[in-house]
Amino acid sequence: MPIAASSPAPVSIVIPLYNEAEVVTLLLERVHAALRSFAHPWELILVDDGSADDTLKRIRAAMADFGDHIRLVALMRNFGQTAAMQAGIDQAQGDLIVTLDGDLQNDPKDIPRMVRELEERDLDLLVGWRKKRKDALLLRKLPSRIANWLIGKVTGVALHDYGCSLKVYRGRVIRKVRLYGEMHRFIPAWVASVTPPARIGETEVTHHARALGQSKYGIGRTFRVIIDLLTMLFFIKYRARPGHFFGALGLLSGGLGSLALGYLAVLKFVWGEDIGGRPLLLVGVVLIIAAAQFMTTGVIAELLVRTYYESSDRRAYEVAAIDTAARPGFKLPEVAGAP
Q: Percent of the chain having pLDDT more than 90?
A: 41
Report whether pLDDT(2) > 50. Answer: no
Amino acid at 270: V
Helix and strand element counts for the chain (H, E): 10, 7
In terms of Cβ atoms closer than 10 Å to its own Cβ (0-12, 13-18, 19+), residue 235 is: middle
Alpha-carbon gap, residue 83 to 90, rounded angstroms:
10
Write the DSSP string, 194-236.
TS-GGGEEEEE--B----SS--S--TTHHHHHHHHHHHHHHHH
pLDDT score at 229? 72
Chain-centroid distance, C-alpha 132: 24
Alpha-carbon gap, residue 182 to 226, rounded angstroms:
10
Pick the most confident of 60-74, 146-160, 227-241, 245-259.
245-259
Do the beta carbons of residue 98 and residue 173 sit within 8 Å?
no
Q: What is the pLDDT of residues 196-212, one digit of tens each?
A: 888 999 999 988 776 66
Do the beta carbons of residue 185 and residue 225 sit within 8 Å?
yes
Q: What is the pLDDT of residues 118-152, one digit of tens each?
A: 999 999 999 998 887 765 556 566 666 776 777 77
pLDDT score at 4? 47
Look up the pTM and report it.
Answer: 0.73
Q: What is the pLDDT of residues 79-93, one digit of tens each?
A: 888 899 999 999 999
Q: 148 or 66: whose pLDDT is higher?
A: 66
* DSSP percent split of the chain into helix, strand, coil, nearest 5: 45, 10, 40
Alpha-carbon gap, residue 31 to 23, rounded angstroms:
12
pLDDT score at 130? 83
